[in-house]
Structure formats: C-alpha cells, structure tokens
C-alpha cells in the first residue's frame, strides 16, 4: 500500500500564489511516484486538519512567513510525524536575516555590511550612504525589497506608510554591485552555481517567479576558484544553520573588486517551473520527480514530548 503524504501549500502569507504553484507541482510528482497525496491549503487550522487526515509524512511546500519561519514547523513537531525541509530552530534563524548573518560570519562567511532599524527610522533618513538595499528582516522571495540608488535625496518613504505589511524591522544593507549567483544544497551536496540575469531592475519577486522574469545561466561562467568558493560557502551556510533537505543560498559577486558576499539562505526554495533549485538538480542529473521523491524520503524527524528525536 502506498504511503500517505500531505503536501502543505498556499497559506496566509504574501508568497501564497508561488506556494500554491510549488505545492501542486510537488503533489503531482509524488502521485506519479505512487504516493497517496493529500493537498492541504495550510491555514491556521492546520493542526486540526492534520489530526483528521493523519498522514505518514508532511511535505512542506509553503514559502515565507508562517510556513518557513519556524511557526508551522512547531505545529509539525507537535503533530509528531516526519516532515520535509528544516526544523524549527533552523527555519526561524534563516528567516531572521540579521541573526542568520551573525551566525554565518562566525564561521567565516562574509555577508554585506548591514544595520537593523525600525522601518520608521529607515524612512526618515539614510542609515547608510546610498547606494544601499532596504529589505524586511523576515520575509522571503525579495518581498518588500527596495534598492536606494546612488545620489538618492531621501530614503524610500514607503517604509513609513501605515499600510506597509512586511514587518517593523528593516535591514539596511550595503549594495554589492556585480553578478547574482545562487547555489542549491541537497542534503550534504552543493549542486552547481547558477548566474541570474534579471529582466527587471533587480532580482525581485517578479524576476524570480514571472515567466521570462530572468535568464538563468547554468553553470555560471565564472572563474573556477570562485565556483569552488561559492559551492563551499553554500554548503557551509547550510550546515552552520543546521538546515535539512533542500536549501538555496544567494550571493553577489563583484568581479571588478574581487568581492563575494552571501546575501541569504532560503530553507524552502521555490519548486515552480521557473525555480532555480529544481533546475540545478536537473543539471546534475536529478529529474524533478526524483528530486521531490528524495525530499519526501529524507525528512526531518519531529521531537517527541520528552524532547528527544524520534526515529
């Protein structure tokens, strides 16, 4: 008899539409692999829905706040069945860009210089001299990111708008010119390096998920020493934050000044038709259905009520 797997998708966050696409693609792949699949549009009644369905395994295809920041992982730990991707601590830490950078720098990975401030302070004056990047401290997929260009007279006033939906903490980060690189890590293996050439002003939400939003060059045409360094740092970041399963680390490479900086690590990268991690897996010989199968079979063991890891 096939094993029963619940695929969590959608959710209440700003990345809902992308999560729906990721989750449906993964659910279809699992069905092709012979799993009994239930799709769950994961709302705040998730615990009750899981109790009613009682699946053997949970595949977490949520993105961004709530689904990727440790809160859903806490529900899954309480439910007590294995689940994909990282656990509570790693998920929460990776989503908190400021604290994640502190951990990464402790293990020798250089990140852009940054300052964490309230959004109101960031809207009043330049915290760093332009150019710089202003981004919500705890969002994914470049949601709410603003680039303040050189010569800008004032900071982005949108940060002080009463309707701003992306949290009160803003990370003001030095702007690193150059090339956008990314590496997917699968378990203990860094797959390859992709260069991203966005067709928008920068690699924003639209460039990541809209058809034709960006061009992916795989493998990236970069010096061998930089390729080895990016692969090494992506794996080191995955391990330093105690991540599990599939992650993706994003970098900026300033070739002119020989500067490489890790921007952030994504604990639940997109699994859509335009997503980078599945594309990298395919490049190294792991087709999409096999990738999803691997993720379902390499799950995070939940904690029992005594605080011990099961399984």
- Collapsed DSSP state (helix, strand, coil) of residue 292: helix
Per residue in 38-58, pLDDT (tens digit) is 999 999 999 999 999 999 999
Mutual orientation of helices 288-297 and 16-32 as an angle, nearest 10°?
90
Q: If residue 195 lies in a helix (H) or strand (E), which one and from where to where?
A: strand 189-198
Cα–Cα distance between 97 and 99 in angstroms, integer?
6
Encoded tokens for 214 = 């960006």
CA 281 – CA 248 distance, rounded (Å): 12
Is the pLDDT assigned to residue 144 strictly greater than 90?
no
Q: How far apart are CA 192 and CA 194, in angstroms?
A: 7
pLDDT score for 214: 81
Q: Name residues whose C-beta falls within 8 Å of residue 120's C-beta, 6 or more positions apart in sequence.
A: 159, 160
Measured in degrees and rounded to the nearest 5, phi and psi for residue 78 equal -65, -40
Question: 123-130: which pairs have CB atoms within 8 A and are 24 or more residues apart?
Answer: 123/155, 123/156, 123/157, 123/158, 123/159, 123/160, 124/155, 124/160, 125/155, 126/152, 126/154, 126/155, 127/155, 127/172, 128/172, 128/173, 128/174, 130/175
pLDDT > 70? residue 191? yes
Taking the model in full, what pTM does it have?
A: 0.90
Enzyme catalytic residues: 15, 141, 209, 248, 250, 264, 266, 270
Note the Cα 11 to chain centre separation in Å.
16
Window from 165-169, 228-232, 234-238, 242-246 with minimum mean pLDDT: 165-169
Q: Is the pLDDT of residue 234 over 80?
A: yes
Peptide bond between residue 219 and the one before it cis (omega within 30 degrees of 0) = yes
- As a whole number, the mean pLDDT across the chain is 91
Strands 114-118 and 132-136: unpaired
| pLDDT confidence bin for 306, thresholds 50/70/90 | very low
């Amino acid at each position: 008899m096939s094993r029963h797997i619940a695929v969590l998708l959608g959710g209440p966050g700003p990345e809902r539409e992308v999560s729906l696409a990721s989750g449906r693609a993964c659910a279809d792949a699992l069905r092709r692999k012979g799993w009994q699949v239930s799709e769950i549009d994961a709302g705040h009644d998730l615990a009750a829905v899981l109790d009613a369905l009682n699946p053997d395994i949970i595949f977490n295809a949520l993105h961004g706040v709530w689904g990727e920041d440790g809160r859903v992982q806490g529900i899954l730990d309480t439910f007590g069945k294995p689940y994909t991707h990282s656990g509570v601590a790693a998920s929460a830490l990776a989503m908190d860009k400021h604290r994640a950078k502190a951990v990464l720098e402790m293990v020798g990975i250089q990140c852009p210089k940054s300052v964490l401030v309230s959004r109101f302070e960031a809207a009043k004056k330049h915290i760093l001299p332009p150019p710089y990047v202003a981004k919500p401290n705890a969002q994914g997929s470049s949601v709410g990111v603003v680039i303040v260009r050189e010569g800008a007279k004032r900071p982005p006033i949108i940060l002080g708008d009463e309707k701003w939906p992306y949290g009160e903490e803003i990370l003001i980060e030095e702007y690193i010119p150059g090339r956008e690189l990314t590496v997917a890590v699968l378990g203990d293996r860094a797959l390859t390096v992709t260069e991203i050439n966005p067709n928008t002003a920068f690699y924003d939400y639209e460039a990541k998920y809209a058809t034709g939003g960006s061009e992916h060059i795989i493998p990236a045409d970069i010096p061998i020493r930089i390729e080895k360094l990016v692969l090494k740092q992506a794996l080191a970041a995955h391990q330093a934050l105690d991540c599990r399963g599939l992650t993706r680390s994003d970098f900026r490479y300033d070739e002119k000044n020989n500067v490489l900086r890790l921007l952030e690590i994504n604990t639940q990268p997109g699994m859509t038709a335009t997503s980078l991690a599945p594309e990298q897996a395919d490049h190294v010989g792991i087709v999409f259905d096999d990738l999803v199968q691997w993720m379902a079979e390499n799950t995070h063991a939940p904690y029992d009520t005594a605080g011990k890891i099961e399984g």
